[in-house]
Amino acid sequence: MTDLLAQKDVVNHLHPYTDARLHEADGPLIIERGEGVHVYDNQNKRYIEAMSGLWSVALGFSNQRLIEAAEKQLRTLPFYHVFSSKAHRPSIELAEKLVEMAPVPMSKVFFTNSGSEANDTVVKLLWYRNNALGKPAKKKFISRQNAYHGITTVSASLTGLPANQRGFDVPLPGFLHVSCPHFYRYGRAGETEEQFADRLARELDDLIIKEGPETVAAFYGEPLMGAGGVIIPPKTYWEKIQKVCRKHDVLIVADEVICGFGRTGNMFGCETFDIEPDVMVVSKQLSSSYQPIAAILINDAVYQDIADQSQSIGTLGHGFTCSGHPVATAVALENLKIIEEEGLVQHAAEMGIILRKGLQQFADHPMVGEVRGVGLIAAVELVADRHTKEPFEAVGRLGRYLSSQAQERGMINRVIGDALAFCPPLISTEKDINEILGVFAASLDATQHWYLKHTAQ
């Protein structure tokens, strides 16, 4: 490792989602600047960002309106809090905008700095509410295997990914997980998608009855599962899951952190999958990640009980220094204006058709098990055997190799096990999508060559 900046990083920086020992040996990829849908490393090598950073940079890496919105707000009011009935114009206007945009009636918005903090806050607020209702036992949360809801202690307990839980003593008691709704992986022989959805709804129903409906506060789900592998729910899944929840007075929380603001071809994933949540969580594309911000939307029934409890106690004893930060909320407002003015939700739906059609060319490739996606988000799952769906040796090795080949060829994407995820910025053009497809094709060929060479030895 000859790069001095890389050496400084290895010496001083503990990275998230990274094998620390491998990082010591290999060092970082240092990204220096961004332009549109591309980023450049400190050697001036260009990469197309096929993951929008972390599922989040809707408007690309050089949007001048967002930069100007941040600069204007920094010069006007660089910081103020929203504790103790304080407020400022950007947070007021963004809260109003989000309530107006919500796909179902919502009453209030609570701001945090990240999706993890937001999901952690939802759990606390619903505990708080059930205490106010005189239901102190109604505190359990049900999520799903392979779900991703964050990495704070509570949100990691909602998460259903082993790598986020092993070694951390999570999940905490009271956090339960039902099956992942991935039909390709977990559907039984001869079972239709609707029958698979029936089975998963029965599983949820059985678990609620076993635990006692009086102990279950909410069911937590992403409209489509992002970090778990871009898992598209089977037909009728959400309809049946919601029916079970309503029967047992279990609230529905929609984690729209990845899906929200156009990613699924509608403004919200709840619209794409006909979900009617009591609580929504949004982040990522809310500000295109130009500023750290997340928001919780709650309906009026949830709000009224929380408000009564805050009056009884004398305050709502929860919040963050930077909740509703004026610069973050100003940037988010401008970001939402641009998404609407430029018709980027419809544009994303159109580009998604091109992306999925292009990826579908590889559906019969001997190393491809499944091509899946909706809107402008997709994944290709690699397998060693298309008939048995078996991975190559250890799960993830094939995917990591292909991802490394893509990076060498100038594309950054995300490997999830042996699934390659694609989540390009909403501003991506047909030319950009074709660039992604071209790099993927070359990388898949290189991976097959490596695989055949490996297995021949």
Span 179-201, mean pLDDT?
97
CATH number at residue 94: 3.40.640.10
pLDDT tens for each residue of 37-78: 999 999 999 999 999 999 999 999 999 999 999 999 999 999
Q: Are β-strands 175-178 and 140-144 bridged in parallel, bridged antiparallel, or unpaired? A: parallel
For residue 454, what pLDDT band results from cuts at 50, 70 and 90?
confident
Q: Are residues 197 and 276 in the same domain?
A: yes
Q: Are residues 420 and 294 in the same domain?
A: no
DSSP assignment letter at 172 = P
Q: Give phi and psi for 390, each to the nearest 5.
A: -70, 140
Q: Are residues 361 and 438 in the same domain?
A: yes
Element (H, E) at 387: none
**Does residue 453 or residue 144 have the better pLDDT?**
144
Task: For residues 191 and 179, give the distance between their C-alpha atoms in angstroms, rounded to a whole number.
Answer: 16
Q: Are residues 108 and 171 in the same domain?
A: yes
Nearest Cα to Cα of residue 126 among 251, 228, 211: 251
In angstroms and rounded to an integer, the radius of gyration of the C-alpha atoms of the chain is 22
Among 341, 366, 401, residue at a domain's last position: 341
For residue 394, what pLDDT band results from cuts at 50, 70 and 90?
confident
Q: Are residues 96 and 29 in the same domain?
A: no
* 48 contact partners, CB below 8 Å, separation of at least 6: 37, 38, 410, 411, 412, 424, 432, 435, 436, 439
Assigned token pair, 246: 């309503």
Domain with 91 in it: 66-341
> What's the mean pLDDT when you consider all of the chain?
97
Look at residue 228 in the predicted model and tell me its pLDDT. 96
Q: Are residues 318 and 206 in the same domain?
A: yes
Look at residue 38 in the predicted model and tell me its pLDDT. 98
Q: State how many domains the chain has.
A: 2
Q: Are residues 28 and 72 in the same domain?
A: no
Look at residue 87 in the predicted model and tell me its pLDDT. 97
Q: What angle do CA 97, 266, 221 make, to 5 degrees?
A: 85
- Predicted TM-score (pTM) of this structure: 0.96
Q: Are residues 139 and 166 in the same domain?
A: yes
Q: Are residues 330 and 398 in the same domain?
A: no
Look at residue 387 in the predicted model and tell me its pLDDT. 87
Task: For residues 231 and 147, give the distance between their C-alpha atoms in angstroms, rounded to a whole number.
Answer: 10
Look at residue 391 in the predicted model and tell me its pLDDT. 82
Q: Are residues 240 and 307 in the same domain?
A: yes
Predicted confidence (pLDDT) at residue 21 exceeds the cutoff of 60: yes
pLDDT tens for each residue of 99-111: 999 999 999 999 9
Asked if 438 contacts 362 with a C-beta cutoff of 8 angstroms, the reply is no
For residue 419, what pLDDT band results from cuts at 50, 70 and 90?
very high
Q: Are residues 442 and 403 in the same domain?
A: yes
For residue 393, what pLDDT band results from cuts at 50, 70 and 90?
confident
Predicted confidence (pLDDT) at residue 1 exceeds the cutoff of 80: no
DSSP assignment letter at 130 = H
Look at residue 457 in the predicted model and tell me its pLDDT. 63
CATH number at residue 382: 3.90.1150.10
**Does residue 391 or residue 36 have the better pLDDT?**
36
Task: For residues 419 and 396, give the distance between their C-alpha atoms in angstroms, rounded to a whole number.
Answer: 8
Span 22-33, mean pLDDT?
96
Q: Give percent of the chain above pLDDT 70.
A: 99
Alpha helices for 57-180 (secondary structure H):
64-76, 89-101, 115-132, 153-158
Q: Are residues 156 and 281 in the same domain?
A: yes
